[in-house]
A and B are shown apart, each in its own frame.
Chain A
Amino acid sequence: MCDQTFLAIVFGPCDKCFKEKPLRPVYIKSEQLSYCSLCVEMMATEGLHENETLASLKNEAESLKGKLEEERAKLHDVELHQVAERVEALGQFVMKTRRTLKGHGNKVLCMDWCKDKRRIVSSSQDGKVIVWDSFTTNKEHAVTMPCTWVMACAYAPSGCAIACGGLDNKCSVYPLTFDKNENMAAKKKSVAMHTNYLSACSFTNSDMQILTASGDGTCALWDVESGQLLQSFHGHGADVLCLDLAPSETGNTFVSGGCDKKAMVWDMRSGQCIQSFETHDSDINSVRYYPSGDAFASGSDDATCRLYDLRADREVAIYSKESIIFGASSVDFSLSGRLLFAGYNDYTINVWDVLKGSRVSILFGHENRVSTLRVSPDGTAFCSGSWDHTLRV
């Protein structure tokens, strides 16, 4: 199990008073400095203007929030589904399960597609991470993690490595090798260290950087080679449950959703939160960017999925029905962005028309909750993993 503590007491010269003391990390304008505890206290109280008490700051915060709402409301001239009325309705959809991947001994918690559009990596509660070939349903690799509840797994863009993590509080990267004599576990590299469980991880555009989200309320960007923390993102008030990277090649933003009901958009280089959206009524389980990168959808325990537009800075659509009372655990868009697939805790997958806001079809088949869902990179299929120990393509 985890035998390394995250918080090490650093002793050294304070960045402010230069005395040798135990140091605490402090973030000023997104830069990390080390101050001794005395300077931290002094810094907190100095710069407080004459009338700046806690109460006045709270009032200012409230009035700013009100002003934000006003600004957003001013631009809310029409609803998405009204604009979408002139678009043709979609016909009936027939989607069948083509493959069922059996082999996990326990609930499947997370999965990811490889860029070659056929391999899938999936992780489960029993600690096993398996790489499948979805065309043939063969298992290509299997690794047993030293912890249970592997809640996050990701395929590297090159297809040569996988990353996974869970209750062990860290993210481990395994290079994939076809050599039968090599033990995959031996080549494992521990990359990320959090103080609570790892809920989501994703490689950035290259194999060299990983973005992780954790139950300790932070997201972090790590360098795979050295294991060093490149940037950390603070701002969520509770566990961060999911994240997704912006789709563009040059993109350097990502969105994260958490138990504080907020979805926040971050700039990866500065560590700053650019936008935040708080309209859900419960934990946000899954966020996914729209293929164009200008919007994102979120699925939550309040049984709704919502679409937020980044440029209009507001929620533009809600996908819900009175008959759906179970939370959505996972969402993904089809290639064109017209369809939104959402897996729910009532064992079904609902397919929504993104523009019109109506449900197109329901897919049955799983015998327990759908925990994860991803569309393949070329859009020909999507894979769903469930607590019934199977994955369906």
Chain B
Amino acid sequence: MSGKTAGTTNNITQARRTVQQLRIEASIERIKVSKASADLMLYCEEHAKKDPLLMGIPASENPFKDKKTCILL
């Protein structure tokens, strides 16, 4: 280990950390894209009815609809 400066030891620790991180990532469990996409679609379909931006809400319920000004008789 002759001639090691602080710069190279930092690189080594960094490299070691990267390798450890990659090992962790390589070992996680994955599912197929077809299954993941099917699940995403299922979620969308289940919640689509409740999505106001998707379905549109009647004007009476829309809190942002401009209300007509009141006329004082």
Contacts and interface: CB of A to CB of B under 8 A. Distances in A.
> Are both chains from one complex?
yes
Nearest to A134: B64
A155 B72 CA distance: 39
Contact of B15 (A61, A337, A379): A61
Interface of B: 1, 4, 6, 8-13, 15-16, 18-19, 21-26, 28, 30-41, 43-48, 50-54, 57, 62-66
Interface of A: 41, 44-45, 48, 53-54, 57-58, 60-61, 64-65, 67-68, 71-72, 75-80, 83-84, 87, 90, 95, 98-99, 118, 134-135, 235, 272-276, 290-292, 294-295, 309, 311-314, 316, 334-339, 354-355, 375, 378-382, 393
A80 B53 contact: no
Nearest to B57: A380
A379 B53 contact: yes
A295 to B, nearest CB: 6
A334 B43 CA distance: 12
A380 B64 CA distance: 9
B48 A309 contact: no
B54 A78 contact: no
Contact of B32 (A75, A274, A337, A382): A75
Contacts of A334: 51, 53-54
A380 B8 CA distance: 56
A240 B66 CA distance: 40
A44 B9 contact: yes
A64 B47 contact: no
A335 B50 contact: yes
Contacts of B22: 61, 64-65, 68
**Which label, helix, strand, loop or mixed, suits the secondary structure of the A interface?**
loop
List the 10 closest pairs (A to B, CB-CB), nearest first: A336-B47, A336-B51, A98-B64, A57-B15, A64-B22, A312-B36, A44-B9, A83-B37, A309-B36, A335-B51
Contacts of A314: 30, 33
A54 B26 CA distance: 21
Contacts of B21: 235, 273, 276
A295 B39 CA distance: 10
29 contacts: A41-B6, A41-B9, A45-B9, A57-B19, A60-B19, A67-B26, A72-B30, A76-B33, A78-B37, A83-B34, A90-B54, A275-B25, A275-B28, A276-B25, A291-B47, A294-B36, A311-B30, A311-B35, A312-B32, A312-B33, A316-B33, A334-B53, A334-B54, A336-B48, A336-B54, A339-B51, A355-B44, A379-B52, A380-B62
Given A45-B4, A334-B53, A57 B41 contact: no
Contact of A337 (B1, B30, B43, B65): B43
B26 A64 contact: yes
A290 to B, nearest CB: 7
B63 A118 contact: yes
Q: Which of B10, B28, B66 has its CB near the most chain A CB atoms (within 10 A)?
A: B28
Nearest to B64: A98
Contacts of A274: 24-25, 28
Nearest to A382: B53
Given A48-B12, A334-B53, A381 B64 contact: yes
Given A309-B40, A380-B52, 12 more contacts: A41-B9, A48-B1, A54-B11, A64-B26, A67-B26, A98-B64, A273-B21, A290-B43, A294-B36, A294-B40, A311-B31, A338-B48
Contacts of B19: 57, 60-61, 64
